[in-house]
Amino acid sequence: MITYLQNNYPEVLSDLVEHLWLALIPVVVGAALSLPLGYLAVRVPSLYQPVVNVGAVLYSIPSLALFLMIPVIIGVGYLSPLNVLIGLSLYTLALLARTVADALISVQGETTQAARALGYRPLRQLFGVELPMAAPVIFAGLRVATVANISLVSVGALVGSGGLGNLFTGGFQLGFVEPIIIGIVLSMLLAGLCDVGLVLLQRRLTPWTRVGGRA
Amino acid sequence: MSLVSPTPMLNYFGYLFDGANWHLSGDSSIPERLAQHIGYTLAALAIAALIALPVGLLIGHTNRGAFIAIGLGNLGRSLPTFGLVLLLVTYLGVYIWPVLLALIVLAIPPILAQTYAAIRSVDPAAVDAAVGMGMRPLQVLFQAEVPMALPLIIGGLRNALLQVTATATIAAYASFGGLGRLLIDGLNRNQYDQVLAGAILVAALAIALDYISAFIERVVVSPGVRERGSRRSRRSRSAVRTQSPTEESPVSASR
Amino acid sequence: MITFDQVTKTFPGGNVAVDNLSLELPTGQITVFVGPSGCGKTTSLRMINRTIEPTSGTISIDGEDVSTQDAALLRRKIGYVIQHAGLFPHRTVADNIATVPLLNGVNKKQAREEAVQLLARVGLEESMAGRYPTQLSGGQQQRVGVARALAADPPVMLMDEPFSAVDPIVRDGLQKEFLRLQAELGKTIAFVTHDIDEAIKLGDTVAIFRVGGHLAQVGSPQELLDSPADEFVADFVGRDRGFRGLSFVTADKLEVEPVQAYVDRTSGARLVLDDGGRPQGWRFEEAGSPQPLAGTFTVEDNLRLVTDLAISSPAGAAVRVDHDGVADGVVAHEAIARHLTAMRRESER
């Protein structure tokens, strides 16, 4: 296995890099879009159920099917990396919109009422009070979405944008398990690192959740 | 390589609407593929459940070995499903059973993790009452804990169902049957109407299975335990759920 | 009768929850275990039905050592009521109540019918039988919990803070109903509470526990109020134990003044009666409308109530009525004070 790595180092590295941006860009896009959508779903109660339902339906569509339906809808080629990017963004959005909405609902209570009484306007309150309080839950959802995306990128190998998935298809075609194992290991390592990274980011952003742990 | 000239929409649906493809007897007909897909999916799910449910119940009831349930759950989430399928097929040969094995292995972690979480989340007062009234351990498990944990347990099964359906689709790359064949074959032959037919059918199947399993959940779970849809109870419900969406959210990792 | 014989419970880690406890719980009576957090009262209770096993010592019910019996079968003969009811949310009210009979093999139809009968016993309507616990209020759930404990008609009942989780008004109602039920059924009951008032209200015998699992004092509520064994008990029972002790003295020996001639010396108020002789209020001026009474008492009521009525009365006196509500005597609070003095002289002799 080490020899394979030594021989094919450049390809593996480029696959890894491709995998990284294919997985992470959708997380950022999906997360960014999920905030307003989740917020709207809370502010306009009649939106909540439709958002949840559409999200559930979307999330249940298998990845390959999604990657192959998008090109028809938006008119790009089947092998465009946009399919994977858009597909994974949709998954992330479907998952996180509900997470954000539920998290915002669950932090409603005495603190938010106090904030309103103090004179916070809604948007300021959202960013200054509610989101920080909902952060732990939202981050948990982010972690799930990120790990999921990293796993799903490899499916993109079937449509030309596979990142480490190329190691899987390559290994299969040639009958070698080494590249596949390397691909799996790297993929899991990547997932682990991103997870740890998110945890650290969360700790940075929400210092109050770590202090004051009295036994 | 991208499509230079956009072909009229109608051509994309050629395969889907071609009656010849819907013959029930055909070897590569849509009903045939559909039956294969559903059959393998359910079989893998059943076997995985047979293994994961008892283990999850045991770990949850005794609270020993919790790290197995949680660790496996996390591991399962980060394992690339496509990689596992191709690994087993490359290593064991291009047959059906390595794929089935991969499907089973991938279905076990979500079922195990969520069954464990479900049992742990049961109201301890009710369990205390059950023990104090004179139920024996197995009676406590099956007459008290499981019925109360049922929504989450079924949630885990539903997650696994979607996971397996999606992975079975991709497995077509390794010469597996099922609806994924339409996608793979279509891609190989540049027959995009076949590809689209496959994509639509797979998506429809997944959605249909999800709805059916939701219906089953409604039927099986006691009305006293079912979660109401009102905003107020949603508030308290989501307060519980969102505390650990990694364990309790109705979504799993890979499709 | 439940007997504790030198029972000790030490938890792994060294914490001594119950220390050499020897105690008798009389048959057919309510014995209350009361004390601050960490005093071992709940642990002691749970050792009776073996949900916690003692480290040493024996617990017997009617002479039989509980550790020699099958734990599950033992528990089916003991009613168990806990703080948050612990009802099964997936079962209807009727099925919840029928839990133990069903475990014992009673056929489903019969068990359900008997469960519905029990509903009336605990003050609930039969229509509740088909509902689910989540549809019930806290007080209703607690009643179902009691019904469930009664279903197999066990001679012994264990109750662990059953009324603590509901609001005071509901709690008051539950306590009254509980006493009524016990008067009908006469079970041997071990009752745990942290509330000394509840202990005094409900207990035939009260056992006060000290932190560390020691028994500080055992006795009737009256004894505890009159002669606390030490400062801990006196403090725990509370500052106004003298006043509260009055609730154990009946008003039957209290001398009353006749209604018709009664005039309040301070204000000149007179009692106004209706045609049937029932009191309407106190009139202070000739033509004014009468001010209503705070309440009335009968010969069966206790002195604490009478004193309270006298103090809150606009005329400084309490009105006694007979069973038809007809006023038959008036007591000014000076008279009550004289009565208390007389009582003290009696007890000193």
Residue boundaries of the structural domains of chain B: 37-248
Which candidate, C153, C171, C65, C140, places its Cα nearest to that of C106? C153
Residue C321 lies in a domain: yes
Residue C243 lies in a domain: no
Residue C228 lies in a domain: yes
Same domain, yes or no, for C71 and C43?
yes
Q: In one letter, which amino acid is B41?
A: T
- Picking from A158-162, B225-229, C319-323, which range would have the lowest pLDDT averaged per residue? B225-229
Does the structure show a pLDDT above 70 at C349? no
Same domain, yes or no, for C146 and C183?
yes
Asked if B194 contacts B179 with a C-beta cutoff of 8 angstroms, the reply is no
CA distances from C236 to C17, C172, C213, C221, C230 (A): 19, 21, 15, 13, 10
What's the burial of C12, exposed, middle or buried (CB within 10 Å: 0-12/13-18/19+)?
exposed
Residue A86 lies in a domain: yes
Does A65 contact B199 at a Cβ distance shorter than 8 Å? Answer: yes
pLDDT at C155: 94
What's the CATH number where C282 sits? Answer: 3.10.580.10
pLDDT at A120: 84
Q: In one letter, which amino acid is A40?
A: L
Residue A129 lies in a domain: yes
3-state secondary structure C152-218: CCCCEEEEECCCCCCCHHHHHHHHHHHHHHHHHHCCEEEEEECCHHHHHHHCCEEEEEECCCEEEEE
Interface residues of chain B, partner chain C, Cβ below 8 Å: 123, 125-136, 139, 143-144, 147-148, 150, 221-225
Same domain, yes or no, for C256 and C221?
no
Six token digits for residue B121 = 């989340």
Does the structure show a pLDDT above 90 at C227? no
Same domain, yes or no, for C212 and C311?
no
Same domain, yes or no, for C269 and C307?
yes
Q: In one letter, which amino acid is A117?
A: A
Handedness of CA A60, A63, A64, A67 (dihedral sign): positive
Which candidate, C129, C131, C162, places its Cα nearest to that of C146? C162
Same domain, yes or no, for C265 and C222?
no
Same domain, yes or no, for C266 and C314?
yes
Asked if C233 contacts C41 with a C-beta cutoff of 8 angstroms, the reply is no
> Which of C113-127 are b and which e, b meaning 16 or more Cβ less than 10 Å from the residue's Cβ?
ebbbebbebbbbeee
- How far apart, in Å, do the first and last CA atoms of chain C sit? 36
Instruction: State whether CATH 1.10.3720.10 applies to domain B37-248.
Output: yes
Residue after which a domain boundary falls, among C169, C204, C238: C238
pLDDT digits (tens, 9 = 90+) for A68-79: 989 888 888 888
Residue C246 lies in a domain: no
**From the centroid of its chain, how far is CA B29?**
25
The total domain count for chain A is: 1
Provide the 8-state DSSP code for B12. Answer: H
CB count in 10 Å sphere of residue B55: 18
Task: Please tell me the distance from the alpha carbon of residue C255 to that of residue A41, in angstroms, as a whole number.
Answer: 73
Residue C108 lies in a domain: yes
Question: What residues of chain A, 140 to 159, have a C-beta less than 8 Å from chain B?
Answer: 140-141, 143-144, 147-148, 150-152, 154-155, 157-159
Name the residue facing C84 among B125, B131, B135 (closest C-beta): B125
User: B247 CA to chain A: closest CA distance, Å?
Assistant: 10
Asked if B160 contacts B252 with a C-beta cutoff of 8 angstroms, the reply is yes
Reading chain B (255 residues) residue by residue, the pLDDT tens digits are 444 445 555 566 766 777 666 766 656 678 888 888 999 999 999 999 999 999 999 998 888 888 888 888 888 889 999 999 999 999 998 888 999 999 999 999 999 999 999 999 999 999 999 999 999 999 999 999 999 999 999 999 999 999 999 999 999 898 888 888 888 888 888 888 888 888 999 999 999 999 999 999 999 998 888 754 333 333 333 333 333 333 334 444 444
pLDDT at C101: 93
Same domain, yes or no, for C32 and C69?
yes
Average pLDDT over residues C311-333: 86
Average pLDDT over residues C196-205: 91
CB count in 10 Å sphere of residue A200: 10
The total domain count for chain C is: 2
Name the residue facing A140 among B169, B207, B246 (closest C-beta): B246
Three-point CA angle A91, A92, A96, nearest 5°: 120
Q: Using only C-alpha atoms, what is the Rg of chain B? A: 21
Residue after which a domain boundary falls, among C215, C238, C261: C238
Name the residue facing B134 among C72, C86, C92 (closest C-beta): C72
Backbone angles phi, psi at C167, to 5 degrees: -75, 160
Domain coverage including residue C103: 2-238
What's the CATH number where C78 sits? Answer: 3.40.50.300
| Inter-chain CB pairs, A–B, below 8 Å | 196
Residue A214 lies in a domain: no
Residue after which a domain boundary falls, among C238, C273, C290: C238
What's the CATH number where A90 sits? Answer: 1.10.3720.10
Which residues in chain B are closer than 8 Å to A102, comparing Cβ atoms? 234, 238, 241-242
Task: Please tell me the distance from the alpha carbon of residue C225 to that of residue C241, in angstroms, as a whole number.
Answer: 6
Of residues C306 and A6, more confidently modeled: C306
Task: Please tell me the distance from the alpha carbon of residue B139 to that of residue C102, in angstroms, as a whole number.
Answer: 12
Q: In one letter, which amino acid is B97?
A: W
Domain coverage including residue A181: 2-206
Asked if C256 contacts C321 with a C-beta cutoff of 8 angstroms, the reply is no
Residue C244 lies in a domain: no
Coil/strand/helix, residue C330: strand
Name the residue facing B253 among A56, A141, A147 (closest C-beta): A147
Asked if B48 contacts B107 with a C-beta cutoff of 8 angstroms, the reply is yes
Which residue, among A60, A146, A147, would best test binding to B if mutated, counting the most B CBs under 10 Å from its CB? A60
Same domain, yes or no, for C27 and C97?
yes
Same domain, yes or no, for C255 and C209?
no
Same domain, yes or no, for C341 and C256?
yes
Same domain, yes or no, for C43 and C129?
yes
Per DSSP bridges, beta strands C156-160 and C78-81 are: parallel
Task: Please tell me the distance from the alpha carbon of residue A65 to that of residue B200, in angstroms, as a whole number.
Answer: 7
Task: Please tell me the distance from the alpha carbon of residue B157 to that of residue B213, in angstroms, as a whole number.
Answer: 9
Calculate the average pLDDT of chain C. 88
Got the DSSP string for A99-125? HHHHHHHHH-SHHHHHHHHHT--HHHH
